[in-house]
Structure 1
Amino acid sequence: MREIAWITLFFAGLLETGWALGLRYTEGFTKVGPSVATLIVMGGSVYLLSRSLTSLPLGTAYAVWTGIGAVGTVIAGIILFGESRSVIRLLCIVLIVAGIVGLRFFSDT
Protein backbone atom coordinates (compact mmCIF):
# COMPACT_ATOMS: atom_id res chain seq x y z
CA MET A 1 0.00 0.00 0.00
CA ARG A 2 2.84 2.33 0.83
CA GLU A 3 4.48 1.89 -2.58
CA ILE A 4 1.20 2.83 -4.24
CA ALA A 5 1.10 5.97 -2.10
CA TRP A 6 4.59 6.93 -3.32
CA ILE A 7 3.58 6.35 -6.94
CA THR A 8 0.42 8.39 -6.40
CA LEU A 9 2.50 11.17 -4.85
CA PHE A 10 4.87 11.13 -7.82
CA PHE A 11 1.98 11.68 -10.23
CA ALA A 12 0.56 14.37 -7.96
CA GLY A 13 3.91 16.16 -8.25
CA LEU A 14 3.89 15.82 -12.04
CA LEU A 15 0.41 17.33 -12.13
CA GLU A 16 1.67 20.16 -9.94
CA THR A 17 4.23 20.88 -12.63
CA GLY A 18 1.39 20.85 -15.17
CA TRP A 19 -0.73 23.39 -13.38
CA ALA A 20 2.24 25.62 -12.65
CA LEU A 21 2.96 25.67 -16.38
CA GLY A 22 -0.72 26.18 -17.10
CA LEU A 23 -0.69 29.38 -15.05
CA ARG A 24 1.59 30.92 -17.63
CA TYR A 25 -1.05 30.42 -20.32
CA THR A 26 -4.09 31.63 -18.35
CA GLU A 27 -3.02 35.28 -18.58
CA GLY A 28 -4.28 35.98 -15.08
CA PHE A 29 -7.23 33.60 -15.54
CA THR A 30 -8.58 35.77 -18.35
CA LYS A 31 -8.34 32.97 -20.95
CA VAL A 32 -11.13 30.48 -20.36
CA GLY A 33 -9.67 27.33 -21.96
CA PRO A 34 -6.26 27.44 -20.29
CA SER A 35 -7.87 28.53 -17.02
CA VAL A 36 -10.28 25.60 -16.94
CA ALA A 37 -7.52 23.14 -17.89
CA THR A 38 -5.23 24.55 -15.21
CA LEU A 39 -7.92 24.29 -12.54
CA ILE A 40 -8.68 20.68 -13.52
CA VAL A 41 -5.01 19.70 -13.36
CA MET A 42 -4.68 21.57 -10.06
CA GLY A 43 -7.63 19.65 -8.64
CA GLY A 44 -6.16 16.36 -9.82
CA SER A 45 -2.84 17.18 -8.20
CA VAL A 46 -4.40 18.02 -4.85
CA TYR A 47 -6.64 14.95 -5.03
CA LEU A 48 -3.68 12.62 -5.65
CA LEU A 49 -1.74 14.31 -2.86
CA SER A 50 -4.66 13.71 -0.50
CA ARG A 51 -4.81 10.05 -1.53
CA SER A 52 -1.11 9.59 -0.81
CA LEU A 53 -1.66 11.00 2.68
CA THR A 54 -3.57 7.88 3.66
CA SER A 55 -0.19 6.11 3.96
CA LEU A 56 2.49 8.80 4.06
CA PRO A 57 3.34 11.40 6.70
CA LEU A 58 1.95 14.86 5.90
CA GLY A 59 5.27 16.72 6.12
CA THR A 60 7.10 14.20 3.96
CA ALA A 61 4.37 14.00 1.32
CA TYR A 62 3.98 17.77 1.10
CA ALA A 63 7.73 18.36 0.81
CA VAL A 64 8.08 15.71 -1.91
CA TRP A 65 5.00 17.00 -3.76
CA THR A 66 6.28 20.57 -3.86
CA GLY A 67 9.81 19.39 -4.65
CA ILE A 68 8.69 17.36 -7.66
CA GLY A 69 6.58 20.30 -8.81
CA ALA A 70 9.45 22.73 -8.40
CA VAL A 71 11.99 20.56 -10.20
CA GLY A 72 9.56 19.77 -13.01
CA THR A 73 8.64 23.41 -13.43
CA VAL A 74 12.27 24.53 -13.59
CA ILE A 75 13.14 21.83 -16.12
CA ALA A 76 10.10 22.72 -18.22
CA GLY A 77 11.03 26.41 -18.01
CA ILE A 78 14.51 25.63 -19.30
CA ILE A 79 13.21 23.47 -22.15
CA LEU A 80 10.11 25.42 -23.17
CA PHE A 81 10.97 29.02 -22.35
CA GLY A 82 14.75 29.19 -22.57
CA GLU A 83 15.18 30.01 -18.88
CA SER A 84 18.64 30.09 -17.33
CA ARG A 85 20.76 26.95 -17.26
CA SER A 86 23.40 28.40 -14.98
CA VAL A 87 25.51 25.94 -13.04
CA ILE A 88 24.41 27.28 -9.67
CA ARG A 89 20.73 27.03 -10.66
CA LEU A 90 21.18 23.43 -11.81
CA LEU A 91 23.11 22.64 -8.62
CA CYS A 92 20.19 23.92 -6.58
CA ILE A 93 17.85 21.65 -8.53
CA VAL A 94 20.15 18.70 -7.81
CA LEU A 95 19.92 19.56 -4.10
CA ILE A 96 16.12 19.54 -4.27
CA VAL A 97 16.20 16.15 -6.00
CA ALA A 98 18.58 14.86 -3.30
CA GLY A 99 16.11 16.03 -0.66
CA ILE A 100 13.23 14.27 -2.41
CA VAL A 101 15.21 11.03 -2.69
CA GLY A 102 16.30 11.33 0.94
CA LEU A 103 12.71 11.78 2.12
CA ARG A 104 11.62 8.82 0.01
CA PHE A 105 14.20 6.41 1.39
CA PHE A 106 14.59 7.69 4.95
CA SER A 107 10.97 8.42 5.83
CA ASP A 108 9.90 6.91 9.18
CA THR A 109 6.68 5.21 8.18
Structure 2
Amino acid sequence: MTWLWLTLAGLVLVAGALVPVLPRRERRSDAAETRARSAYLLLGHHVDPPPPAPEGDAETEALFRRAIERWHSAGGVLAEATTREEFALAQRIAEEGLDTVAEAHARLGLPPPAR
Protein backbone atom coordinates (compact mmCIF):
# COMPACT_ATOMS: atom_id res chain seq x y z
CA MET A 1 0.00 0.00 0.00
CA THR A 2 2.88 2.35 0.75
CA TRP A 3 4.26 1.94 -2.77
CA LEU A 4 0.91 3.12 -4.14
CA TRP A 5 1.09 6.34 -2.12
CA LEU A 6 4.69 6.92 -3.15
CA THR A 7 3.80 6.38 -6.81
CA LEU A 8 0.86 8.78 -6.59
CA ALA A 9 3.01 11.39 -4.86
CA GLY A 10 5.64 11.06 -7.59
CA LEU A 11 3.01 11.48 -10.32
CA VAL A 12 1.62 14.57 -8.61
CA LEU A 13 5.12 16.08 -8.43
CA VAL A 14 5.80 15.38 -12.11
CA ALA A 15 2.42 16.80 -13.14
CA GLY A 16 3.04 19.89 -11.02
CA ALA A 17 6.40 20.43 -12.69
CA LEU A 18 4.91 20.12 -16.18
CA VAL A 19 1.97 22.48 -15.66
CA PRO A 20 3.98 25.74 -16.11
CA VAL A 21 6.01 24.34 -19.01
CA LEU A 22 3.27 22.95 -21.26
CA PRO A 23 1.27 26.15 -21.85
CA ARG A 24 4.46 28.04 -22.67
CA ARG A 25 5.43 25.49 -25.31
CA GLU A 26 1.99 25.70 -26.92
CA ARG A 27 2.27 29.48 -27.34
CA ARG A 28 5.70 29.23 -28.85
CA SER A 29 6.12 29.09 -32.61
CA ASP A 30 9.35 27.47 -33.68
CA ALA A 31 9.16 28.95 -37.19
CA ALA A 32 8.60 32.48 -35.86
CA GLU A 33 11.42 32.05 -33.37
CA THR A 34 13.76 30.77 -36.07
CA ARG A 35 13.00 33.71 -38.38
CA ALA A 36 13.48 36.22 -35.56
CA ARG A 37 16.76 34.70 -34.37
CA SER A 38 18.03 34.46 -37.95
CA ALA A 39 17.39 38.17 -38.58
CA TYR A 40 18.95 39.03 -35.21
CA LEU A 41 22.11 37.01 -35.89
CA LEU A 42 22.44 38.43 -39.40
CA LEU A 43 22.15 41.95 -38.03
CA GLY A 44 24.77 41.15 -35.40
CA HIS A 45 27.10 39.90 -38.12
CA HIS A 46 26.92 43.28 -39.85
CA VAL A 47 27.19 45.56 -36.81
CA ASP A 48 29.64 43.82 -34.49
CA PRO A 49 32.09 45.39 -35.21
CA PRO A 50 30.77 47.92 -37.73
CA PRO A 51 32.86 48.67 -40.81
CA PRO A 52 34.88 51.85 -40.39
CA ALA A 53 33.18 54.93 -41.80
CA PRO A 54 35.24 57.46 -43.75
CA GLU A 55 36.65 60.27 -41.63
CA GLY A 56 34.03 62.95 -41.04
CA ASP A 57 31.09 60.90 -42.38
CA ALA A 58 28.78 61.50 -39.44
CA GLU A 59 25.70 60.26 -41.31
CA THR A 60 27.17 56.79 -41.90
CA GLU A 61 28.33 56.59 -38.29
CA ALA A 62 24.83 57.55 -37.14
CA LEU A 63 23.33 54.85 -39.36
CA PHE A 64 25.56 52.21 -37.80
CA ARG A 65 24.73 53.47 -34.30
CA ARG A 66 21.00 53.14 -35.09
CA ALA A 67 21.58 49.63 -36.45
CA ILE A 68 23.44 48.68 -33.26
CA GLU A 69 20.54 50.04 -31.19
CA ARG A 70 18.14 47.86 -33.21
CA TRP A 71 20.41 44.87 -32.61
CA HIS A 72 20.34 45.44 -28.86
CA SER A 73 16.58 46.04 -28.87
CA ALA A 74 15.88 42.89 -30.88
CA GLY A 75 18.07 40.90 -28.50
CA GLY A 76 16.15 42.24 -25.52
CA VAL A 77 12.82 41.32 -27.05
CA LEU A 78 14.11 37.86 -28.04
CA ALA A 79 15.34 37.20 -24.51
CA GLU A 80 11.80 37.55 -23.16
CA ALA A 81 9.77 36.36 -26.17
CA THR A 82 7.39 33.43 -25.73
CA THR A 83 4.58 34.16 -28.18
CA ARG A 84 4.43 34.34 -31.96
CA GLU A 85 3.69 38.08 -31.77
CA GLU A 86 6.75 38.76 -29.61
CA PHE A 87 8.99 36.85 -32.01
CA ALA A 88 7.47 38.78 -34.93
CA LEU A 89 8.24 42.05 -33.11
CA ALA A 90 11.87 41.00 -32.60
CA GLN A 91 12.09 40.09 -36.29
CA ARG A 92 10.68 43.48 -37.34
CA ILE A 93 13.17 45.30 -35.13
CA ALA A 94 16.08 43.27 -36.55
CA GLU A 95 14.88 43.89 -40.11
CA GLU A 96 14.74 47.64 -39.42
CA GLY A 97 18.36 47.36 -38.34
CA LEU A 98 19.22 45.44 -41.52
CA ASP A 99 17.55 48.18 -43.59
CA THR A 100 19.68 50.74 -41.76
CA VAL A 101 22.81 48.66 -42.43
CA ALA A 102 21.87 48.47 -46.12
CA GLU A 103 21.59 52.26 -46.22
CA ALA A 104 24.99 52.64 -44.52
CA HIS A 105 26.54 50.11 -46.89
CA ALA A 106 25.16 52.03 -49.87
CA ARG A 107 26.87 55.18 -48.56
CA LEU A 108 30.14 53.23 -48.27
CA GLY A 109 29.80 51.57 -51.68
CA LEU A 110 29.43 48.09 -50.13
CA PRO A 111 26.86 45.48 -51.15
CA PRO A 112 23.74 45.33 -48.95
CA PRO A 113 23.38 42.51 -46.43
CA ALA A 114 22.07 39.28 -47.95
CA ARG A 115 18.75 38.15 -46.51
Q: Which interval holds the TM-score relative to the shorter structure?
A: 0.3 to 0.5
**Bigger helix share:** 1
Larger Rg: 2
User: Which TM-score applies when normalising by structure 2?
Assistant: 0.36
